[in-house]
Amino acid sequence: MMFKMFLFRICTISMILSVVQVQKPLFAQHTSDGIRLNQVGFYPNGPKLAIVSGDKYTDFTVLNASSGKVVFKGKLGPQRTSQHSGKVTRPADFTSIIKPGKYVIALSETVKSAPFEIKKNVHKSVAQAALKGFYYQRASIELPEKYAGKWARPAGHPDTRVLIHPSAVSEGRPENFVISAPGGWYDAGDYNKYIVNSGITMGTLLSLYEDFPLYFENFNTNIPESNNSVPDLLDEVIYNLRWMLAMQDPADGGVYHKLTNPRFDGMIMPDAADKPRYVVQKNTVATLDFVAVMAQAGRIFRNFENKLPGLSDSCLVAAVKGWEWAKKNPDVYYNQNEINAKFDPDIVTGAYGDRGAADEWIWAASEMYASTGKSDYLKGVDLKTGAPMPLPTWNMVQALGYYTLLRTAENLKTEAAIVDPVRKSITAFSDELLKELEKQPYHTVMGKNAKDYAWGSSSVAANQGIALLNTFKLTKDRKYLLAALGNLDYLLGRNATTYCFLTGFGSKKVMHPHHRLSIADGIADPVPGLLSGGPNPGQQDKCATYTSKFADESFTDDDCSYASNEIAINWNAPMVYLSAAIEALMEK
């Protein structure tokens, strides 16, 4: 409790300090929360839109940020009304400014936006930071200042002496048998490592590489592996891949659900953590997620055999063994409450309990087919293309399989009967998103439906962007690309909360994510490059600092808020994908 009070005091002091700091910069005394825009900036050749809240203004100007000279005068577009709050907004379109520079939007002498940039490669630093965010999440390793800057820290959670939990006992691995499974990324604001959530995260990052391999030849994130002539995106992925490989029972191919403390660590740094760690029950969902990741990784690393000898083979062998285990054990589900009723110690960390594996079969089968060319893997798997495509989430991954079937169809000469319905499904999903875009209060497909503001809504926006980009690839119709860019604008500030959701970026920054590393390190700035979960009207954390219950505003930049302001690897991965893919496509 004392520790909590102490933290509270630090937060209060840093809040006062940040208020003082805000008053210093040139334009900040006039900076208005009423002008919402991508706070990072815009492409010279791209659309440029700000959203003005309220109905007080009819005109706007754009000023050169250093000279104050007016460079553009415009009329605000027609009024729109938020379906969530009933509040009105008007768009300010300044697409016609194509000259690179720093600008400010003004509604009056005193009501102005913070400065923003128009420049080429405007989101490259965003994409690099979002990928670097994974480096900061690395377990079991020291982060030296050379790579981590002021967020340098000693190693923690070595995970070289991990116990077999009684729920995970098998022949040759009795209770409390010791295995070694070091490395990998911390999952989120906590320090545990979950196979299911690693699944979608790895699939998203590996797909980014497969979709844009050339872009990553020149994409450096200043990590220890930056000069090894393997793309840094893949180096980062390998750090988690090697941990995942250690989570497979070598005797039978089944994969443990997670590597975890029984209870969450306190708000401490990793090197202060000393609780025992366990692997828990092998199950079908975790194993199929593992299979999909290993199949995809094995396929990609075939091209790196001289730099990473044997890695591709190890992944493909692990994938086949996992597939065989899942075939023999098709309905073993992780139920934490049941396990706790039967075994000790009780495990109360993130459950990631998923009671439906039909989507994991689709994803795993698609990856196995794509890596082996053997269509037998798809036999007997219902691709479920008759129903609307569900957006990827940690427990609903079939779209990851669709993207892979789409990506590899030409090379594999996949039967039209298989891939045509997949193409239709992805396109139908995007067309549904685009309906009535012109009526949306922030002119984004994100937020059209209240259900978009689920837990981790930022990842909904990013994953919608990925679906749109896949549709752009299919159709070459630029409207899908621009709608994806609109969701990136949403994440970087064009939203009802006024925040830029990626730590370290924007004029209105997230400063207090629910993230143990950022809370415990004593550094005012949070670890950079992490995507805050975003608005979630569930408000399950019951934090006292929410200022609105409206779905699109239900966010608080407070470290108590695990429901709206946590970070997580499965949210960061689509942010990396969206920002990097937009860079690759807009700068073509």
Closer of 134 and 546 to Ca ion (Cβ): 134
Please, are residues 333 and 353 in contact by the beta-carbon 8 Å criterion?
yes
Identity of the residue, 50 or 397, whose beta carbon is nearer to Ca ion in the bound complex: 397
Task: Give the strands of the sheet with 41-42, arranged side by side.
Answer: 41-42, 116-118, 101-106, 59-64, 70-75
Q: Which pair of tokens denotes residue 412?
A: 């594999």
Radius of gyration of the chain (CA): 24
Nearer to Ca ion (CB atom), residue 385 or residue 554: 385
**190, 235, 552, 559: which one is catalytic?**
190
Report how far residue 70's alpha carbon sits from residue 68's, in angstroms, rounded to the nearest whole number.
6
Reduce the DSSP state of residue 138 to 3 states and report it.
strand
Of 231 and 513, nearer to Ca ion (C-beta) is 231
Min. distance of Cβ 197 from Ca ion in angstroms? 12
Kindly state the smallest distance separating residue 231's Cβ from Ca ion, in Å: 6
Q: Which residues lie near Ca ion (CB under 5 A)?
A: 225, 228, 230, 232, 235, 354, 356, 359, 395
The answer to whether the beta carbons of residues 225 and 235 sit under 8 Å apart is yes
* Phi, psi at 380, each rounded to 5°: 80, 0
Between 236 and 557, CB nearer to Ca ion: 236
Choose between 395 and 497: whose C-beta lies nearer to Ca ion.
395
Q: Which residues contact 555 (CB under 8 A, 6 or more apart)?
A: 497, 499, 532, 534, 535, 536, 546, 561, 564, 565
CA–CA separation, 87 and 441 (whole Å): 9
Q: Amino acid identity, residue 223?
A: I
One DSSP character per residue, 19-45 reads HHHHTSSTTGGGB-TTEE--SSEE-TT
Sign of the Cα torsion 489, 490, 493, 496 reads positive
Q: Is the N-terminal amide bond of 345 cis, ω within 30° of 0?
A: yes
Question: To the nearest whole angstrom, how small is the minimum distance from the Cβ of residue 464 to Ca ion?
Answer: 19
Determine which one of 541, 557, 559, 583 is catalytic.
557
Catalytic residue among 159, 359, 566, 583: 566
Give 261 or 283: the residue with its C-beta nearer to Ca ion: 283
Token pair, residue 210, equals 């497969």
Closer residue to Ca ion (CB): 235 or 541: 235
The secondary structure of 269-332, three-state, reads CHHHCCCCCEECCECHHHHHHHHHHHHHHHHHHHHHCCCCCCHHHHHHHHHHHHHHHHHHCCCC
Q: Which residues, 6+ apart, have CB-to-CB distance to 453 below 8 Å?
A: 84, 447, 460, 534, 535, 536, 537, 551, 552, 554
Q: What is the rounded end-to-end Cα distance, in angstroms, of the chain?
A: 54
Report in angstroms how near the CB of residue 316 gets to Ca ion at its nearest: 22
Q: How far is the CB of 66 from Ca ion (least distance, A)?
A: 38
Pick between residue 37 and residue 297 the one whose CB is nearest to Ca ion: 297
Q: Least distance from C-beta 577 to Ca ion, angstroms?
A: 19
What DSSP designation does 93 have? E
Please state the separation of Cα 546 from the chain's center in Å: 23
Write out the DSSP string of 506-543: SSSB----B-HHHHHS--SSPPSS-B-----TT-TT--
Helix (H, G, I), strand (E, B) or coil at 353: coil
Q: Closest separation between CB of residue 385 and Ca ion, Å?
A: 17
- 3-class DSSP state of 105: strand
Among residues 135 and 555, whose Cβ is nearest to Ca ion?
Answer: 135
- The answer to whether 566 is a known catalytic residue is yes
In the complex, least distance from residue 307 CB atom to Ca ion, rounded to whole angstroms: 9
Q: Residues 123, 512, 514, 515: which is the catalytic one? A: 514
For residue 373, which amino acid is it?
G
* Catalytic site includes residue 558: no
Contact 440, 80 (CB under 8 A): yes
CB 289 within 8 A of CB 199: yes
**Catalytic machinery residues:** 190, 514, 557, 566
